[in-house]
Structure 1
Amino acid sequence: MNRKQSVYPLQPPRERGTGRAFAFALLMHVLLGLFLYHGIHWQNSTPAGAEAELWTDIPPTPTQPPPPPAPPVRVQPPPPVDQEQADIALQEKKRKEQEAAQRAAQLAEQQRQKALQEQQEQAAREQAARLAAQKAAAEKLKQQQAQAAKLREQQAQQQAQQQKQAQLKQQQLEAQQKAEADKAAQEKAAKAKALAQQQAKQKQQLEQERRARLAQLQGMAGQSESGNGLAKSGTGSGSGGTAASPGYADKVRRIVRPHIIWGGATEGLETVISVHCAPDGQLLSASVQKSSGNPQWDTAALNAVNASNPMPVDLNGKAPASFLITLRPAGG
């Protein structure tokens, strides 16, 4: 008994009639097996062929009697089973069932753990896929932003280049306009210089002609010119008043002529200026005695006389007290 407790320490208490029940169950299983065996063997037997009877005038023969039935099979009852061995078998069966249940539970737990691991792996793969998609989207957005920034930079460079080209064209246009203006100014200055040279040459010729005529008149008259003065072509000339020497008019003309500034019409203009001087030649007064009808030319002539202060002195060392100066523009 101690041996059994050491082998099976967790045996349940023994119930009455367990051995009988086990023997009866075993007997019923054996009978059920024999019944199934004979039933299957009977169903698998080959069926007999069909028979046909023919009736003739032959007198009938006596039939043979059927064979006697087979004696019934007697089932031997199972040998008696020891109660202790039955308990051991039952405990072994329960142990195996418990082991099978434990194995099934372990298998189920393993399957559950495997399914959980697969779910976790699937979730991890999905998370990794989402992170990869987010990273790809971020990279794509970054590339788009970089492309947009590059495009803006290119546009800014193009605008700057266009502005630079426009400024360069504007500078070239301004330089061209300035060059044209300088050229026009140079041409105008050259024309003005040529005109001034031509006017100076004409004045010089007129002065020579006037001197020749004056010398001729002085030779014919044998005396100095009267105080009314003689109008000379060109820049004009002056004649001294009373007691003026014959060369005094040339002195006045040489002083007044450079101060005449006139760029308008010349035909028909003649102005007579009345001059009053001190003995040392200082100009006391100058006024227009006879107008030309052109106020601008009258003003230019009067300005030329005022700019000629002081007037030259005569041979006696004194300037005439008053005299008239008749002025005409060059070419008038």
Structure 2
Amino acid sequence: MNRKQSVYPLQPPRERGTWRAFALALLIHVLLGLFLYHGIHWQNSTPAGAEAEIWTDISPTPTPNAPPPPAPPVRVAPTPPIDQEQADIALQEKKRKQQEAAARAAQLEQEQRQKALQEQQEQERRQAELARQQAEQKAAQQKLKQEQAEKLREQQAQEQQKQAQLKKQEQEKQAQLKQQQLEAQQKADAEKAAKAKALAQQQAKQKAQLEQERRARLAQLQGMAGQSEGGNGLAKSGTGSGSGGTAASPGYSDKVRRRVRPNIIWGGETAGLETVVSVHCAPDGQVLSASIQKGSGNAQWDQAALNAVNASNPMPLDTNGRAPASFLITLRPAG
């Protein structure tokens, strides 16, 4: 019963006691048949005729003043026997009617049982049809859900594949860009290193050359140490002047003054300030060294004068295309 209800959830419960009712009906029909059999058998027995004898006392008894004797009773004739053929016919007719009634009752009961069975079968068939429809509907819904889930999985797989392709392309682009940047950086570093190396080599070469020239000039200066200071030709005019040195032309001081003057930055006092700066140059005018030869007593002005000389690097070349090896510059603030 539980298995059938699980298969057909809408089926109503079966009525219990069907076989018991059928057995009870069968027992009643058997008892009815036995009753009819015994009743018919009892009716078929032939009834015996009734006989009666009457005895009267005929001896006279003298009784004085006795009433007259009663009249003799009339003898009742025996009942004539019933016609056996008619009794048999009546019994058979009764038996036939009883059999027909029993047959109709059995047929009616059989029809009722068949009708109930047909109704039950029809109900079961309807329930089975309903269960089949429900199962088909459920299967269709399940199939639709599976198709939708499969379609959704396909869409997700396609989206994931597309995202993976885009991510791969982006990674390839980034890797290519990084490679290009790395190559450019390596190239720039190589160029920078080459330039730095070339510059270092050039600076080393210039430094060696300057060092060689400095040593030569120092040797020359040591040889010229006995010359007078006036030979340097100090110029006193203007805000800044220069001496031509041992190898300077007469107009070289003006060139130095024009070069140094714009680089003087001073906003303090101007009265009585005068500073002499000693300059050593390379042949191309590069300032090798600059130092205070004679201070003014104002350290700030002396530093401003020294800064102006260093800011004027390189110094102008002389008429021979070379800068003097050493010379003195006398600087005064404009006032």
Range class of TM-score, shorter chain: 0.3 to 0.5
TM-score, normalised by the number of residues in structure 2: 0.44
TM-score scaled to structure 1, two decimals? 0.44
